[in-house]
Structure formats: structure tokens, C-alpha cells
Amino acid sequence: QVQLVESGGGLVQPGGSLRLSCAVSGFPFNSYAMRWYRQAPGSQRELVSFITSGGSATYADSVQGRFTSSRDNAKNTVYLQMNSLKPEDTAVYYCNTNQGSKIYWGKGTLVTVSS
């Protein structure tokens, strides 16, 4: 059974940092790309980051230079380091992967950026 479990969200002040984690089980993690999405209240879910199985990452323009995605294939975990956080980064953050047409999501972790 494929499981993706996000953690690390919370309340942080503008300019602060958080590191999100997504622990994966049930499939050969090191063979698959992973994605981070976010969904703000009243908005559509948007892609934040894509990281290949080899660890190369790309980012949405809105987070480029502030967020960094990485993965530890030995721990079956993908991370999202978020720095210089802004109120507009407030959202539920989800990790995601697909195996062909099968798409898997975690339940998400809430990040709130507020003073």
C-alpha cells in the first residue's frame, strides 16, 4: 500500500523558515520523481517543486530562490526547505508522486505565515 505522510508544518513569522518532510512507503522511492504542491484557501492547488529520482529539482517562479527540495533515498523521504517565508506562502502543502496513471497524494501539512 502506497503511503505519503507529510510533516513539519506550523505557524511561522514572515521571514522565517520551515522544513517539510514527506515520508514514503509502499513503492521503490528511489525510482520515482516527487512533487510538492500547495493549496491556499480559496485557490487551486499549485505545483511548488518537482524533484527527479536523481535529486534534480525545479521550482515555481513564486518560490524560486527561497525554497529547496531534496530527497534522502535511504530514508524514503523528500524534503522542502522553505526560507524567507511570506504570508502568501500560507497553504496546505502536499507531496505527490505517480506511477504511470496512478497518482498518490499525502494528506497535507498546514503552513501558516503570520505575525
Give the pLDDT mean for 74-88: 97
Per-residue pLDDT tens over the stretch 89-113: 999 999 999 988 999 999 999 999 9
CB within 8 Å of 20: residues ≥ 6 apart: 6, 7, 8, 9, 36, 79, 80, 82, 93, 109, 111
In this prediction, residue 27 carries a pLDDT of 87
Confidence of residue 38 (pLDDT cuts 50, 70, 90): very high
